[in-house]
Every structure is written in structure tokens, then in C-alpha cells.
Structure 1
């Protein structure tokens, strides 16, 4: 069980946007970085998360205009985050229990990054593969 901070070292950059940006601009940022969610930051402080799910449920299905609507109007403000020392297994359990797909990593007030459920799945699967390979090598002598 590795700390989630180890996984963050594989990711480069913290992608975020300001709450006053339009939803359309946020969608473009999602597409540019090929991610499903972005942290919403104001003056260096995490104030929310904007995800594809927020867009589909609160804009597209509601018939609202993404070029006029601001991110602050639809972002998720009840942000669940973890400390960098939290294990990958604990993060996976939390994401499963809370039915979230993206998890910001915060050290005090400093935002360190965000991981997705896919990032965690890939990491856990790789750890399991490494363990299997190690055991096969050990058994083979």
C-alpha cells in the first residue's frame, strides 16, 4: 500500500480553472488535457471540482447555455479530498463509497494534484502484476 503522493509523481501539472470561467471554456480545458474533471481554484485555494458529470447533469440535460453559464454556478462545492499520506487502497475505498471519480490531494491548504479512479485502478493493477511476477520468479527459483 503506497501513499497516494507516489502516484502524483507520475502526473505532471495541476490543471485547474477559475470559478468565473465559462462552462464552455472549462469543457475546452477538459478536452485539451484529456481529463474528466478539473479543480476549481480561487486565489490558490481549492473551492470546487468541475467534471463532465456536472456538465451533463446541470447544463446539457437542463438545456442551459455553456457559453454564458459560469463554472461556479454548476461546480461541485462539497469537495472530498485526501492527504498525500493516504494509501492508494484507502483512496480507492473512499472513491467507491462516496461514488466519486476524481480525488484532489491536499496537504494542509496546498493543492498537490488530483487523481482519477482510472489512475488508481491502473496503479493497483500494476502493483498486483508486479507481485505476481515476483512470486513466479521466487517459485521458479
Structure 2
């Protein structure tokens, strides 16, 4: 399986984030604009949280809060689980399963490289399996 750095390289320019003092409404607009399910919450170049559609649903909508008055830091997930650029996709899949999360920031030292989602991981695993099946079919036919 490939390292996550290769997954990120395929979609450069996707370091989508929001500041902790921005409103949840603004974060929702960014989620819709970029068609993603989560954003990194960054403060002075460091990841301080992740805010997702799930955070909005559970911590704003279901609690009757107002997204234009609630700030991101009030609902974000603070204990961020991240991986390094050399982490393999299978290891990421296991981590996501164990932690029950769908998004993983990729960080190299102090540098934030991006974020991968469960969809990125699944696409890579499916592509790898398709390639393996193709190789086995060619082997059998020869």
C-alpha cells in the first residue's frame, strides 16, 4: 500500500482549514464550498482541532444552538489524531476504525501537509485490489 504522502500529492492545494474563532456557519460554508466533510482548525500554523459535519450535527443542530453565534473552538474535536507522510493506507484504515474517525491530518514535524479521509483510503485500497486482480488474471491467462 502507498504512503499517505502519495494520496496528498494527487490533490495538492487542499490544505483547507478554519480558525478557532470563526463561526460554525463560516465553517459550514467552507465545507459546502470544498465539498468535504471536515476541516482542520488551525491557529498560527498549528492544528488545534478538527471540525466536521458530525460535530455540527451533534453539538449545534441537535442542541438548538445558532451556527452564526457559535464559534468553531466550542464544537471542534480537540484531541486530534494525526499521521505522518510515510504512514501506509492500511495503517490509516486501522487507526480510523479504532478511533472511530473519518479524517486524519497528515503532519510532518511542524508542517501540516493536508488531511485524508476514509474515502481517500478506500479509493486507494480498491485501486490496489483492482491492480492485484488484473495481475492475477494476466498470470492465469499466460
Unmatched segments (≥5 aa) in structure 2: none
Q: Which residue of 2 aligns with 1:37?
A: 38
Give the superposition deviation at 1:104: 0.5
How many residue pairs align between the two structures? Answer: 141
| TM-score in terms of structure 2 length | 0.97
- 2:6 is the alignment partner of 1:6: yes
The superposition leaves residues 60-104 of structure 1 with CA deviations (integer Å, 9 ceiling, x where unpaired) of: 000000001100111000000001111100000000011000001
CA–CA distance in structure 1, aligned partners of residues 4 and 90 of structure 2: 9
Secondary structure in 1 matching 2:77 = coil
Runs of 4+ in 1 over 2 A off after TM superposition: none
CA–CA distance in structure 2, aligned partners of residues 50 and 109 of structure 1: 20
CA–CA distance in structure 1, aligned partners of residues 121 and 55 of structure 2: 21
Q: Which residue of 2 aligns with 1:86?
A: 87
Give the superposition deviation at 1:138: 1.9
Q: Which residue of 1 aligns with 2:59?
A: 58
CA–CA distance in structure 2, aligned partners of residues 9 and 139 of structure 1: 34
Give the superposition deviation at 1:109: 1.4
Give the superposition deviation at 1:137: 1.2
Give the superposition deviation at 1:139: 1.7
Q: Which residue of 1 aligns with 2:69?
A: 68
